[in-house]
Amino acid sequence: MSREEDLALLREYTQSESLIRHMLAVEVAMRAYARHYGEDEEKWGTVGLLHDFDYERWPDPPDHPLKGAAILKERGYPDDVIYAIKSHADYLEDCPRVSLMDKALYACDELSGMITACALVRPGRLRGLTPRSVRKKMKQASFAAAIKRDDLTRGAEDLGVDFSEHVAFVIAAMQTIEEDLALVPDEEGN
């Protein structure tokens, strides 16, 4: 499948621009990790881009991601792409994260949401955002309260990367598409 086909599928099932931006953020982080590890950038990008494409229609577990997995299978996506997407849901006990791609998706998913939340409250948005700033916001339970802090640290641990380095890596990846993510600095930002 091409990225254009992936985007068409995403748009067919998702109307929320914020959810689309989330999937774009995870895609760019996954592509960056694929390059870092010498893996298939297109495949990893597809996993990141489509991991939540079914969420808007079927937000309740286990419908998400199982409904999406069925659609992907029907459309001919590879089994390892489908498995990686299913494995990002902790509640699917029969889909443990085993491959590097599975682990990278889990590590990038919630973290990209936390980074976005942190960026949105800064005039410079992603520019100048540091792992230290993200860690500080993580300590505030009321900030981005839906994001499970344990998932953030567990993701980095499972991927075998230092948490601060992981945060910096994902921020750097997201900065490359800041316009697509609507995270361009305010006029007074840098």
**What is the domain-level CATH number for residue 75?**
1.10.3210
**1 pLDDT above the threshold of 90:** no
> Is 187 inside any structural domain?
no
> Is 157 inside any structural domain?
yes
> Is 86 inside any structural domain?
yes
pLDDT of the residue at 51: 98
The pLDDT tens digits for 4-41 are 999 999 999 999 999 999 999 999 999 999 999 999 99
The pLDDT tens digits for 54-84 are 999 999 999 999 999 999 999 999 999 999 9
Cα–Cα–Cα angle for 86, 51, 73, nearest 5°?
Answer: 60
**190 pLDDT above the threshold of 80:** no
Rounded (10°) angle between helices 79-87 and 63-74: 170
For residue 42, give the amino acid letter. Answer: E
pLDDT of the residue at 186: 75
Contacts of 48 (CB under 8 A, 6+ apart): 23, 26, 27, 28, 29, 30, 31, 105, 108
Give the global pTM: 0.96
pLDDT of the residue at 188: 59
Give me the number of domains the chain comprises: 1
**105 pLDDT above the threshold of 90:** yes
CA atoms of 60 and 10, how far apart (whole Å): 18
Average pLDDT, the chain: 96
Burial-class residue 59 by CB neighbours within 10 Å (0-12, 13-18, 19+). exposed
**124 pLDDT above the threshold of 80:** yes
> Is 112 inside any structural domain?
yes
For residue 175, give the amino acid letter. Answer: Q
> Is 184 inside any structural domain?
no
**Enclosing domain of residue 143:** 3-175
Element (H, E) at 47: helix 41-50
Asked if 61 and 17 touch (Cβ cutoff 8 Å), the reply is: no
